[in-house]
Amino acid sequence: MIESENLEELEEIQEDESEPLQTDFTLPRKIKITKLIISLVINILIGGTSFALAIVWFVNPPEVTATWRVFASFLALFGGILLIQFPISLARTFNTRLILGKNSIRFRNSFFWNQVKWADIQDILIQQKLTRDLAENELVGIGIVRFRTVTKGYIFIGDTYPVYEAEGIIESTKEIFEIYLEETEYKLKIAFERPSAQTRYIYFQKELRE
């Protein structure tokens, strides 16, 4: 794990100090519409067509052979999986939300809300996705944000957020966690890990003051 020498890398994603700190993150409207269209085409159109053809070929196959029945079974399974995934995809598109409150964090990946208090958090891990160009090393998005307590890890999935929202999530999480710790016996420690060329982990850790 890499320590303070990489702190300057985090400064590259910091927002202008004159701008208010964003605490509520949800997908932008354009991305919601785009993902809805993609889900309708893939899950409903392709999935529904595949499932309907499978039923037709079961009832009235072009040829009464084992090959056609196996093919129809595969098509029914493929179409059924796509159809089942539609409400999940829809929920992730319209329900995903992260709220960084003063005393606690609330988030929802699809259907259900999760809440964790800042006081219970031991560390926060953010998975950054980077460009293939090692010379540029630019952020292209985030994967997961894990809020770890003593007994459990809470996972927020952020892979659908655009770069500017991902930058905001990283910076706001750091700033609000640091603000909370100022009133406690702990301080914020930042560490980095680079498991692959296109992935970097940022750790916001709670550490006792000296």
Candidate ranges 59-63, 137-141, 199-203; pick with highest mean pLDDT: 199-203
Q: What is the mean pLDDT of the chain?
A: 85
Band of residue 3 on the pLDDT scale cut at 50, 70, 90 = very low
pLDDT digits (tens, 9 = 90+) for 22-67: 899 998 898 899 988 999 999 889 988 988 888 887 777 777 677 7
pLDDT at 207 > cutoff 90? no
Average pLDDT over residues 5-33: 68
Residue 110 — very low, low, confident or very high, per pLDDT cuts 50/70/90? confident
Q: What is the DSSP string of the chain?
A: -B-GGGHHHHHTTPPPTTSPPP-EEE--HHHHHHHHHHHIIIIIIIHHHHHHHHHHHHHS-SS-SHHHHHHHHHHHHHHHHHHHHHHHHHHHHHH-EEEE-SSEEEEESSS-EEEEEGGG--EEEEEEEE-S-TTT--EEEEEEEEEE-SS-EEEEE-TTS-HHHHHHHHHHHHHHHHHHHTTSSEEEEEEEEEEETTEEEEEEEEEE--
| Residue 156 clears pLDDT 70, i.e. is over it | yes
Pseudo-torsion of CA 8, 12, 18, 23, nearest 10°? -100
pTM of the model: 0.77
